[in-house]
Structure 1
Amino acid sequence: MIGFVGIGVIFAMVFGGYILAGGKMGIIIKSLPFEMMMIGGAAVGAFLISNDMAAVKHTLKDVGKVFKGPKWKHDDYRDLLCLLFELIRLARQNPVAIEEHIEDPENSSIFSKYPRILSDKEAIALICDTMRSASMNYDDPHQVEEVLEKRMEANAHHAQHSSHALQAMADALPALGIVAAVLGVIKTMAAIDQPPEVLGGMIGGALVGTFLGVFLAYGFVGPFAGRLKTVIDDDAHFYQLIREVLVANLHNHATNICIEVGRQNTPSHCRPSFSELEEALKDVKSSGAA
């Protein structure tokens, strides 16, 4: 919602200020379709040249995150800690029983309690792969932490491609605006025999290209890239929490300590309070006992 508010503020302040200063919208409206065709079309073409089809689809999909915000909310972090608590507790009580859950999470009675987490393939793979490795005696905490760190770095690099692609487009738009403006000047010079009022309108139309390139770059595409990077970084904390809890488990800390390590590493705006998490874990224990 706040993204739409920001767009409204940009238009209101830029064009409102222009009109209040005595500017006329006629020349902008007349030139806008042609300038947008040149600048926007060239930007899209450059974007397609510099990215493969998978990256293009990924970027188009990720643009929605600018308005939706981070995927993982306060309740999701609490549920993740409860899920990890159940899995760690079961793995310590009955190492054989945990196998059916980590080998087939889709049909697991534990994972099915948390459908939002279950729907995220990377989160489930991270949990199951790490716990499976521990069950195969690959349980050196430092080695596992290093492997998980490299895995998450690779995932983060891939996830950030969309923001990098948008930022590259933002960097190119002012130059493309100059290209459109130069074409407008060429057009004007070809009509140099026209009266001053006609030439003035043509020069004004050419300058719309420069304005549009800078306006799109710093008013829209650049902020979109920045916001997308922030959202992706926020969502990455969810997977980092999984790493922290599972590595703490490999250090053989008490189950409650492992979960507290995860709680402490949760971003402050999503972190459940100690008492809230205690209540949630009590519910998990009571449902497990039942």
Structure 2
Amino acid sequence: MFGIVGILVIFVMVFGGYMLAGGKLGVILKALPFEMIMIGGAAVGSFLLANDLATVKHTLKDLGKVFKGPKWKPGDYRDLLCLLFELVRIAKVNPVGLEEHIENPEESSVFSRYPKIQHDHDAIELICDTLRAASMNYDDPNQVEEVLDKRVEKAQHHALHSSHALQSMADALPALGIVAAVLGVIKTMGSIDQPPEILGKMIGGALVGTFLGVFLAYGIVGPFATRVKAVVEEDGHFYNLIREVLIANLHNHPANMCIEVGRQNTPHHVRPSFTDLEEAIRALKQEAA
């Protein structure tokens, strides 16, 4: 919602201010299609040249995050803590019984209580692989912790590829706008024998290229890259929560303590209250009994 509002504000303020100052949109609109072909086409071409197919698909998919916002909501963090509590408790009470859940999470009665998490491939793999590694009786839990840290870091780095690609495009757009403007000046110089009023319109059309490159870079593509990065980093807190709880479990803390460690390391705006989480866990205990 805020993404749409932001785009509307940008266009209204920029073009509204231009018109209030006495500017005429006719010059811009006449040159816009040709300038957009040159600048937009060159930007898309350079984007395809600089990135592989996987990054291109990833970036197109992530554009929706500008308008949808983070995937994980406050209620999802509470559900994740409840899920991890159940798994950690099973791991401590009945390690053999844990295998049926981590080896086949699609059919697990525990994971099925949290369908949104169950359908997230990255979260499920992170949880199951870490619990599986912890069950192998590592002499040093720090070994598992190190692997987990590297995995979370690598996943975050990969998730940020799309924002980096968009930012690279934003950085190139002003220069591409200058290229289009120079071509417009070349066209104008080829008609130097025309009357001043015609030359003025041609020069104005050429300058649209510079305007369009800067406008797209700092008004559209740059903010898109920043927003995608912010959403990816926000969703990263969800996977960091998994890390915190499972690391606490590696050090043999009680299940309740593991969950509290994770809760306190969750950002405040998505952190479930102690009371709400306690009630949810109490309900799980009663259901298990």
TM over 0.5: yes
CA contact (8 A) 2:134 2:141 kept: no
Partner AA of 1:215 in structure 2: F
Aligned residue in 2 for 1:26: 26
Aligned residue in 2 for 1:218: 218
- Distance, in Å, in 1 between the alignment partners of 2:223 and 2:75 is 28
Aligned residue in 2 for 1:144: 144
Aligned residue in 2 for 1:246: 246
- Distance, in Å, in 1 between the alignment partners of 2:39 and 2:141 is 53
Aligned residue in 2 for 1:160: 160
Partner AA of 1:10 in structure 2: I
- Distance, in Å, in 2 between the alignment partners of 1:84 and 1:141 is 18
Aligned residue in 2 for 1:274: 274
Aligned residue in 2 for 1:76: 76
- Distance, in Å, in 2 between the alignment partners of 1:30 and 1:88 is 65
CA shift in 2, pair 1:243/1:127, >3 Å:
same
CA contact (8 A) 2:164 2:225 kept: yes
Equivalences for 1:156-195 in 2 at 5 Å? 156-195=156-195
State TM-score, norm by structure 2: 0.99
CA contact (8 A) 1:133 1:139 kept: no
- Distance, in Å, in 1 between the alignment partners of 2:146 and 2:266 is 20
- 1:140 to partner: Cα distance: 2.7
Question: Cα deviations across residues 9-64 of structure 1 (Å, max 9, x unaligned)?
Answer: 00010000000000000000000000000000000000000011111111000110
Question: Cα deviations across residues 53-98 of structure 1 (Å, max 9, x unaligned)?
Answer: 1111110001101111111110100000000000011111111111
Partner AA of 2:201 in structure 1: G
How many aligned positions are there?
289
- Distance, in Å, in 2 between the alignment partners of 1:275 and 1:156 is 31
CA contact (8 A) 1:140 1:250 kept: no
Superposition misfits of 4+ residues, deviation over 3 angstroms: none
2:122 matched to 1:94?
no
- 1:138 to partner: Cα distance: 2.4
Aligned residue in 1 for 2:3: 3
Partner AA of 2:263 in structure 1: R
Aligned residue in 1 for 2:131: 131
2:234 matched to 1:234?
yes
- Distance, in Å, in 2 between the alignment partners of 1:67 and 1:259 is 32
Aligned residue in 2 for 1:115: 115
- Distance, in Å, in 2 between the alignment partners of 1:135 and 1:179 is 60
Give SS of 2:284's match.
helix
Partner AA of 2:146 in structure 1: E
Structure 2: unaligned runs, 5 residues or longer: none
RMSD: 0.7
- 1:139 to partner: Cα distance: 6.1
Partner AA of 1:165 in structure 2: A
Partner AA of 1:68 in structure 2: K
Partner AA of 2:202 in structure 1: M
- Distance, in Å, in 2 between the alignment partners of 1:194 and 1:157 is 56
Partner AA of 2:9 in structure 1: V
Give SS of 1:137's match.
coil
The range that moved more, 145-154 or 181-190, is 145-154
- 1:141 to partner: Cα distance: 2.8
- Distance, in Å, in 1 between the alignment partners of 2:200 and 2:141 is 72
CA shift in 2, pair 1:59/1:222, >3 Å:
same
Question: Cα deviations across residues 213-265 of structure 1 (Å, max 9, x unaligned)?
Answer: 00000000000001111110111111111111011011111111100000001
- Distance, in Å, in 2 between the alignment partners of 1:79 and 1:202 is 61
Structure 1: unaligned runs, 5 residues or longer: none
Give SS of 2:5's match.
helix
- 1:136 to partner: Cα distance: 1.1
Partner AA of 1:92 in structure 2: K
- Distance, in Å, in 1 between the alignment partners of 2:270 and 2:139 is 30
